[in-house]
Amino acid sequence: MAEDKNYAGLVISAHSGDFVWRAGGAIALYASRGWKMKIICLSYGERGESAKLWKEGGVTIEEVKAKRHEEALKAASILGGEVEFFDCGDYPIDFTEQHMERLVDIYRSLKPRFILTHSLEDPYNFDHPLASKIAQKARIIAQAHGHKPATGVIGAPPVFLFEPHQPEQCNWKPNLLLDITPVWDKKRKAFEVLEAQEYLWEYYTRVALNRGVQAARNSEYKDIKYAEAYQRIFPEVTHEFK
């Protein structure tokens, strides 16, 4: 798609690192096309996804949150996205009605052309499917004419579920492979900002390479090396088979 600074995409990330591992390529790709890419981090992942910081000892929860805040800001900057933190707590995320009002306002003002978020299931991390449900609920409310009528409703942006850590256990099946080869270097650099989860750097590099092989095999684009996988929630509407 051609560059258009009026277009926007929205990413709902449970924790401050999730958007980098799972959707960093999409963020960088669309940002490079002139899109505004808005990232919402519901939590810093300060309890459950910051083990390295806690094992070092001598830190407070506020210091861990500050470190994750700094990492996420830097990673988003590398990718070309704009990040906003809700600080809803971690393990579990405590998402209130006030948070929902704030998120719906973002949907209404941003009018995203698509939404990226977590899988519907994840037995290893209950915050992830919660984030997915929050993203979908906010979309429905933002479509409701009776909710703050003066602000105007959004249309029907498609929702894409990015790849969970263990897809087979999450009943997640990809039906879209996105070529991120042109922006892979940015995604890898964003990985390396997340020092608290260094153990995932090579894992998600392998994931991108594997999806790249699948993308090339399922298309005529044989120069694809890196890709991200997504699952659509709603049917694609089109005028032709392609």
pLDDT at position 1: 43
User: Higher pLDDT residue, 220 or 2?
Assistant: 220
Q: Classify residue 242: in a domain, yes or no.
A: no
Q: Classify residue 3: in a domain, yes or no.
A: no
Question: To the nearest whole number, what is the mean pLDDT of the chain?
Answer: 94
Beta-carbon contacts of residue 120 (< 8 Å; ≥ 6 apart):
129, 132, 133, 161, 170, 171, 172
pLDDT in tens, 13-36: 999 999 999 999 999 999 999 999
The CATH number for 157's domain is: 3.40.50.10320
pLDDT at position 57: 82
- Alpha carbons within 13 A on the beta-carbon side of 134: 30
3-class DSSP state of 13 = strand
pLDDT in tens, 131-179: 999 999 999 999 999 999 999 999 999 999 999 999 999 999 999 999 9
Q: Which of 44-48, 96-100, 129-133, 164-168 has the lowest mean pLDDT?
A: 44-48
Stretch 115-136: mean pLDDT: 97
Q: Classify residue 187: in a domain, yes or no.
A: yes
Q: Classify residue 213: in a domain, yes or no.
A: yes
Q: Classify residue 1: in a domain, yes or no.
A: no
pLDDT at position 162: 97
Q: Which of 42-56, 143-157, 188-202 holds the top average pLDDT?
A: 143-157
Q: Classify residue 237: in a domain, yes or no.
A: no
What is the residue range of 164's domain? Answer: 8-232
Q: Classify residue 239: in a domain, yes or no.
A: no
pLDDT at 64 over 90: no
Q: What is the pTM of this model?
A: 0.95
Percent of the chain, pLDDT > 70?
97
Q: For the chain, what is the domain count?
A: 1
Beta-carbon contacts of residue 54 (< 8 Å; ≥ 6 apart):
64
Q: How far is CA 185 from CA 7, 121, 188, in A?
A: 24, 30, 5
Evaluate the omega torsion of the peptide bond into residue 112 and state whether it is cis, within 30 degrees of 0. no
Q: Classify residue 241: in a domain, yes or no.
A: no
